[in-house]
Structures are given as structure tokens and as C-alpha cells.
Amino acid sequence: MKENILKSFLAVGVVSALFAANVGASASSIENTNIESTTDHVLLDVQGKKIEFNLDPEVQGKISNKALEGIVGQVDDGDVITIHKIVPASSSPGPISSITRLNNTGDVSTNAWYDLWVNWDPLIKSNISRDNATSAQQIISVAAGKTISLSSSVTKKTSASVGVQASAPTAQINGSITQEISTTYSTNETWTGPSEASGYRSRIFYWTGYVDRGSYSIRGYGNLSGDLYGPYTGSYTEPTYYIEWSRDI
């Protein structure tokens, strides 16, 4: 009897550990995730809310628990959410010039009167917090049993925010950070609501942008003097990807 009880206890412990590894841990980015590519269903219990997520095939293996937790804060306890798309920013920042010519009107003050330009090192990002959800933006609401289109095209976007010191090389800083991620939905696209037999009245589609937050530093060297310019430091918020999802109510 004691042996059977011990076996049962160990079995429950193993199952609990596996469940926690699959659902509870978080990843730092959409590339580094612990939600397996074969997982199409996730249940999260965050801040007293129990939310069920269904993952469409194209997002499986590409999304982190932290990204899903960002959506939890925007829905109600017991909701069932479907994740349809996860799309990274279309391009990396750049290419940008590594030179600021000092004989032109610009942001940078001359350290030595005979410097002609500044050669800038690549911008360094640090203290990065990833997978931060912005406020959900509604795309369209569709009644049960219906398929409809938008009456006019709409654009959803999330923009960067960069703090820049006086005399800092604004072009090099902003050029090293993705400034915007956006999507335009046209009237040609169709959107389908829940089935009439589902018990839900409608399906609301949303767009949520995600950002990195962190600090940056950049420095350069004068030509001809070799004098140090900077380092210039600041904070930034950078759009990285968006998620398209829906909620049945």
C-alpha cells in the first residue's frame, strides 16, 4: 500500500513539473520560446485569471508565454483566445552612416576646431526587457454565423520612443532603432465570426504590438583629433513584432 501511494505521488509530481515547464515558464523573444511547435493549446493562470489560448498552426513554436501574458491583462477571466498571426518588424534599422560631418549644421558640437567629422561606433543596447505588449487595438467585430469585410481600410501601428541628449547624434541613434511596425487591413479581406451553434454572440479581432525597452549608449571619435565624442546615453522603446488575435464573447 505504501509503495503504491509513493508511486502515485511521484507520478503526480512528474505531471505537474511537465505542465509547469510547458505553460508556466516564459521566453525572451519570439525566436527563443519554450512553447513547443506541436502545442496548439495553452492554459495560463496569471494574476488570478485563467485564460485559454488556441494557437493557429502558423504561430505554433513562434510565441512565448510572456507574449501571451501581455494579452491576459487585456481580457477577462475565463476567456478563450485564438492567436492567428505573429509577425516580426519587416526590416532591421539601417543602413546608417557612421559619420557625422561637422562642417554641416547638425546636432553634434565640435570638440576640436579642426575636426572634419566624427566616426561613430555602433550603438550599444543594454538592460533590455523584451515581449512587452502595448494596448490592444480592435480591428473588427463579427456576429455569430457571419462573414464580413471592413467598410474602409484601417492601419494599426506601434511607434518607437527614444530619449536623446542634447548634442547627441540623433540620426545615428534613431537609425539604429526600428521606428515603427504597422499593418494595413483592406476591404478585400474577410473576417468570420463564431458558429451560431457555439453559444457565442460575436468574435472581436485585435492587433497588439510588442516592444523592447532598454538603454543605449553611443560614442565616436573625431577626425582629425581622435578626441572622444560622448558617450551619449538614453532610453528607448522599440517595436519588434505584432500579434493578431481574436476573442469570442
**Residues 185-199 pLDDT 10s:** 999 999 999 999 999
The count of other CB atoms within 10 Å of the CB of residue 50 is: 12
pLDDT for residue 167: 86
What are the Cα distances from residue 141, in Å, to 76, 147, 187, 191, 212? 17, 10, 14, 9, 29
Sequence-ordered list of residues with C-beta below 8 angstroms from that of 226, at least 6 positions apart, any chain: none
**Residues 136-157 pLDDT 10s:** 999 999 999 999 999 999 999 9
Higher-confidence residue: 114 or 75? 75
What are the Cα distances from residue 65, in Å, to 69, 72, 86? 6, 10, 13
The mean per-residue pLDDT over the stretch 73-102 comes to: 81
The mean pLDDT value of the chain amounts to: 83
Spatial separation of the C-alpha atoms in residues 146 and 139, rounded to whole Å: 16
Per DSSP, the three-state class of 130 is strand
Q: Any idea what the Cα angle at residue 90 is, between residues 38 and 246, rounded to 5°?
A: 50
In this prediction, residue 115 has a pLDDT band, given cuts at 50, 70 and 90, of confident
pLDDT for residue 39: 80
pLDDT for residue 47: 80
pLDDT for residue 94: 55
Q: Which of 19-28, 76-85, 89-98 has the lowest mean pLDDT?
A: 19-28
Spatial separation of the C-alpha atoms in residues 30 and 133, rounded to whole Å: 13
Residue 154 grid coordinates: 484601417
Spatial separation of the C-alpha atoms in residues 200 and 29, rounded to whole Å: 33
Is residue 45 scored above 60 in pLDDT? yes
**Residues 3-39 pLDDT 10s:** 443 343 333 333 333 333 333 333 334 444 446 666 8
What are the Cα distances from residue 231, in Å, to 214, 218, 234, 237? 16, 5, 10, 19
